[in-house]
Amino acid sequence: MRRKRQMQSRPCSRINLPRNRISRRRSSRAIVFGVFFVLLIARVVPTAECRVHSQISLHAWIEQDRLEVTVFGIDGQETRALLEDGQASQLIFRVQVYSPSLVSREIFFERDYHVVLQQDHVHRLFVLSDESGIREFSPAGPWLAEFSTVEIELPAEIPADARIRARVIWEPVRLIAGFRFLRMLMPGLQQRTDWVQAERAGETG
């Protein structure tokens, strides 16, 4: 009994792992992360290379208090292949209302409108997300036309001589946060147009 009491009264000793074992665990985690990163690059690079051949342009026109911007040049078959492969595509419509002065250009209004297109693989539908909500389209539906066009409500009070222009940033493969630096390495992951002056309805330019 005395021996048993002595054994119970002993303090528990901490088990310290050797430092070399801890470093091995850390190095193994780094290797796993490196393999994942390489696999991600290998998956994205082919899609980026196929996008370089597509050049986009846009047209913007004003009708009453609305601005409509349409993007041309997005290949429907390539985009559909990306969506079916589990990727998502994004268009960023950038709008500016500014003064026509060349000395000191004053911007009255500037805003970005994001439109994201992806596929619901369970129901075999194309899902479009923007500020107005979420819309779903069948593969035979007008998903590409709805993705490529946006209607923007302009501010109510802008100077009469103000100019309106737009540009589009297209990401054929939308990257999540943490991997957006890949745009610098692979230009095909992002494409942007020049600024285009919006025309009034009925004008020819």
Q: How far is CA 119 from the centre of its chain?
A: 15
pLDDT band at 179 (very low <50, low <70, confident <90, very high): very low
Give me 74's structure tokens: 């997005």
Average pLDDT over residues 184-193: 65
pLDDT at 51: 44
Residue 106 banded pLDDT, cuts 50, 70, 90: confident
Spatial separation of the C-alpha atoms in residues 173 and 188, rounded to whole Å: 9
Confidence (pLDDT) at 185 = 47
Residue written as token pair 């998956």: 43
Q: Could you tell me the pLDDT band of residue 100, with boundaries at 50, 70 and 90? A: confident
- Provide the residue count of the chain: 205
Note the pLDDT of residue 181: 44
Pick the closest to residue 170 from 85, 88, 96, 98 (CA basis): 88
> In the chain, pLDDT over 90 holds for what percent of residues?
32
Cβ–Cβ < 8 Å for 58, 166:
yes
Do 168 and 72 touch, CB atoms closer than 8 A?
A: no
**pLDDT value for 148:** 95
Q: Which of 165, 168, 161 is nearest to 114 (CA)?
A: 168
Condensed to tens digits (0 to 9), the pLDDT of residues 35-86 reads 555 455 545 544 444 444 568 899 999 988 889 999 999 988 888 888 887 7
Give the H or E element holding residue 175. Answer: none
**What is the spatial distance between Cα 164 and Cα 93, in angstroms, rounded to a whole number?**
13
pLDDT, position 96: 93
Dmax (CA) of the chain: 104
> Tell me, what amino acid is at 25?
R
Closest by Cα among 115, 94, 114, 102 to 164: 94
State the Cα–Cα distance between residues 164 and 197, nearest whole angstrom: 6
Position with higher pLDDT, 157 vs 128: 128
Radius of gyration of the chain (CA): 27
Q: What is the pLDDT of residue 7?
A: 47
